[in-house]
Structure 1
Amino acid sequence: MPTLFTFVSRLLGGDVHHAEDIVQETLLRCWLKYGTADRDMLRPWLFTVARNLVMDAHRRNRNRPTEIEIDQKSLADLAETGSDDVVLTSMTVKVAVRSLSPTHREVIYRTYFLQKTDEEVALDLDIPKGTVKSRRFYGLRALRLVLEEHNLGPSMSLASEGVGAKV
């Protein structure tokens, strides 16, 4: 029905894809519910259903919380507004990661913070996959030693402090 599609498209400000969805839903509801009722009332009924679907979609989108994208600086600011223990742990982990050699730190960063696979890290750094595994192993071992010195070793779960679960 081109007339129904034009009507819905205007209600949606020209959003053709959303209008197609609304018209499809309207026709589906007509097929399922209207049945063999009075054919003279079919057109007004279709337009009313389509209008109601548009209003429902608008209300649903209006009540949904606004999605925002958080950059790394904002994330760091949010981390520092937590409780003292969390902030202290976060700072200790940062110091521990900085104490690693640049090669170990780079592999751990790409693997746990960027969540890349061994193959992706190897391609990024132009090194063999086995070297990636070795650097990750020795980097994590050094990281554990530093964290144990600050009483954040195996007894404390870093995952609960916001650090990757694999560390």
Structure 2
Amino acid sequence: MVTDPDVLDQLHRDHANALWAYAVRLTGDRAFAQDVVQETMLRAWREGITDETETSATSARAWLFTVARRLVIDESRSARHRREVATEVLPEERAGDQVDAVFDTAMIVDALAALSVQHREVVVRAYYGRATVAEIADDIGVPPGTVKSRMHYGMRALRLALQERGVTR
């Protein structure tokens, strides 16, 4: 393992651009080519490969290009590569899982059932029926102040019922 950062920086400066261009030619993918260069340089660092450690048989550059080519080959043979399909167009928005919504609805229905009939009637008309205080007062035949009071205490009771069921803020 090479520990001198200057030696590693020099290796990167000397070979990274040519290595990246080579990987782009092999893959046709600029981002993946960058990943190949990074992995190749990491392996060079781990193996202690530098321009200063050249042997008569191979140079650091040849070693880097060989490692890069093998990384590309390994990726093309991988199961992930065979199963993934690259596309420029994203699919339509994915449909979310409705399980959480069903459980939330069931919990709210259960909590609403814990309210008194008068409180539940006002809360349901206001939140699910989108009725105003005046409309609710006219529909059930009570003064608007009574509707507001029932709404206040109904929401308070609903909050407590939901907290009892494990719902927190």
Q: TM-score range by the shorter chain?
A: 0.3 to 0.5
Structure 2 length as normaliser, TM-score?
0.41
Structure 1 length as normaliser, TM-score?
0.41
